[in-house]
Amino acid sequence: MPESNERGALTEAVFYILLALYTPMHGYRIMQTVRDLSSGRVDLGAGTLYGAINTLLEKKWIQPVAGEQDSRKKEYAITPLGKSVVESEIKRLQDLIETGRKIVRGI
């Protein structure tokens, strides 16, 4: 996973995790949502997901959601910084597609 969106592209998995967390959710639900959003293309294992979650927490792109004390399921949500990263990635992808279309169409 890149250190910041400005230094490189997000992986597809990280992009989908961040999108999923626009709605707070716990790990298993994140895995299901990512699989659904990607039409099955990205199927995260627990180790991969929790490694990504730890990295995203360190970068402050996501945060834990305060929940019930007795709940064993931790929920996470995207932060304003994480939303900024997603917006930057969307812009980067749009530019990539626009350039590709120009070349393919011979413009």
Task: Give yes or no for a contact between 90 and 10, defined as CB atoms under 8 angstroms apart.
Answer: no
3-state DSSP percent of the chain in helix, strand and coil, to 5? 60, 10, 35
In order of 10, 24, 45, 103, the CA distances from 74 in angstroms are 24, 10, 17, 46
% the chain with pLDDT above 90: 82
Encode pLDDT of 44-77 as tens digits.
999 999 999 999 999 999 999 987 665 678 999 9
- Mean pLDDT value of segment 22-29: 96
Token pair of 75 as six digits: 């929920």
